[in-house]
């Protein structure tokens, strides 16, 4: 049986969070991106566990949080995730960091819905901020690495069209068979 944990991913700033918020407004269970929370906490505390300062430690903290999100999701109800465990691997690969064997093992153990939804690069909606420091070109490159990573772990990737948030959410629900 296919997992009911559905990932929406892609490069930073391309609209994932808006789709998650739309699905949540329709009363679907959703897990929000934890990277921003970690970054905000680190910035407020003057910490250095930040992706642009210490990606290895940041990835470890992110791994713990995403595993917790995965485990919290009810296995018999659809839950939508703003990124999943394979995203951690993708970001580390992009920076050519060594990936602990335990990370690959955990990604294989925590399998999500076989179709992963990708938000493509979309310059018109992209913006960076205090937590999202990547420029547009880097975000596009990350998008490619993310797609490759998910495919390498055996997922099918579906790139969402540049439609309205509502239309994108509708398309995801149709693809997974909710309506």
pLDDT tens across the length of the chain (179 residues): 578 999 999 998 899 999 999 999 999 999 999 988 898 899 899 999 988 889 899 999 999 999 999 999 998 999 999 999 999 999 999 999 999 999 999 999 999 999 999 999 988 888 776 666 678 898 899 999 999 999 999 999 999 999 999 999 999 999 998 87
Instruction: Determine if the pTM surpasses 0.85.
Output: yes
Measured between alpha carbons, how far is residue 57 from residues 12, 50, 51, 86, 108 in Å?
A: 20, 8, 8, 16, 21
Domain boundaries, the chain: 5-175
How far is residue 20's CA from residue 2's CA, in Å, rounded to a whole number? 21
How far is residue 36's CA from residue 164's CA, in Å, rounded to a whole number? 24
Which CATH code fits 5-175? 3.40.50.300
């Amino acid at each position: 049986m296919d997992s009911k944990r559905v990932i929406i991913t892609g490069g930073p700033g391309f609209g994932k969070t808006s789709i998650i918020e739309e699905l949540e407004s329709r009363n679907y269970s959703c897990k929000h991106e934890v990277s921003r929370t970690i970054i905000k906490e680190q910035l407020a505390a003057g910490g250095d566990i930040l992706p642009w300062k210490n990606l290895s430690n940041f990835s470890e903290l992110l791994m713990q949080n995403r595993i917790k999100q995965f485990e919290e999701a009810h296995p018999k109800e659809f839950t939508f995730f703003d990124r999943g465990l394979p995203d951690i691997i993708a970001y580390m690969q992009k920076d050519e960091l060594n990936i602990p064997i335990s990370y690959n093992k955990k990604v294989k153990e925590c399998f999500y819905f076989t179709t992963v939804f990708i938000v493509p690069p979309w310059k018109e909606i992209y913006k960076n901020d205090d937590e999202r420091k990547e420029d547009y070109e880097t975000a596009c490159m990350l998008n490619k690495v993310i797609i490759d990573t998910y495919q390498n772990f055996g997922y099918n990737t579906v790139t969402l069209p540049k439609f309205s948030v509502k239309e994108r959410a509708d398309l995801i629900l149709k693809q997974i068979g909710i309506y």
